[in-house]
Amino acid sequence: MDPLADLKDIHLSDPVSMWPLALGWWLLLALALVVVLLLVWAYRRYQSQAARRLAMSALKEADSPQQIMVILKSLCLNYFSREQVAGLYGEPLKHFLSQHLTARHRPEFEKLSAGLFSQVHARNRPTDFTDKLKIAVDYWIQHALFTRVKQEARP
């Protein structure tokens, strides 16, 4: 009599399935999704501030009121529609700029820019005019609310 004849075959259990995932894997996936979304948000925010950063660096190099105004208008055209910005100069431009500041920063901007925007194209300006204008524009660039205005569809 053969002793091996009485042995029964070995039955393997079913392989362990990947699904459903354990709670730890779901938490890891959720965390990865949150990190990816935060990275996308941070990148888009960084990209949306590119014009502001460029204007700040150009403002440091500006040495005339005309250059400062070109920088300011270029920045405004990046964030606001041409119809809103292109025709503005002097006090209407100052009013437009102050409207795009928070209520907390508006009085300081008004104080810094008092009488400056109406004298940009004047021949007889004070000697420190360019420096004062640069300070006012720098303040506005740092504190402005840059929300892109959706332009209405044109026919």
Q: Specify the pLDDT at position 71.
A: 94
What would the two tokens of residue 114 be?
């008092």
Asked if the structure places residue 111 within a domain, the reply is yes
Task: Kindly state whether residues 27 and 91 are assigned to the same domain.
Answer: no
Task: Kindly state whether residues 102 and 37 are assigned to the same domain.
Answer: no
Task: Kindly state whether residues 79 and 132 are assigned to the same domain.
Answer: yes
Task: Kindly state whether residues 77 and 108 are assigned to the same domain.
Answer: yes
Task: Kindly state whether residues 36 and 60 are assigned to the same domain.
Answer: no
Q: Over 70: is that where the pLDDT of 152 sits?
A: no
Task: Kindly state whether residues 68 and 139 are assigned to the same domain.
Answer: yes
Q: Over 80: is that where the pLDDT of 41 sits?
A: yes
How confident is the model over 65-86, as pLDDT tens digits? 999 999 999 999 988 889 888 8
Q: Residue 73 is part of which domain span?
A: 51-143
How confident is the model over 10-27, as pLDDT tens digits? 888 888 888 888 899 999
CA 134 – CA 154 distance, rounded (Å) = 36
Quick one: pLDDT band at residue 148, thresholds 50, 70, 90? Answer: low
Q: For residue 115, which phi and psi values (nearest 5 degrees)?
A: 75, 0
How confident is the model over 108-142, as pLDDT tens digits? 999 999 888 888 888 888 888 999 999 999 999 99
Task: Kindly state whether residues 79 and 37 are assigned to the same domain.
Answer: no
Asked if the structure places residue 104 within a domain, the reply is yes
- Packing angle of the helix pair 129-143, 50-61 (nearest 10 deg): 170
Question: Nearest-CA neighbor of 80 among 18, 33, 150, 132?
Answer: 150
For 90: left if phi > 0, alpha if psi spans -120 to 50, otherwise beta; the answer is left
Task: Kindly state whether residues 109 and 41 are assigned to the same domain.
Answer: no
Asked if the structure places residue 150 within a domain, the reply is no
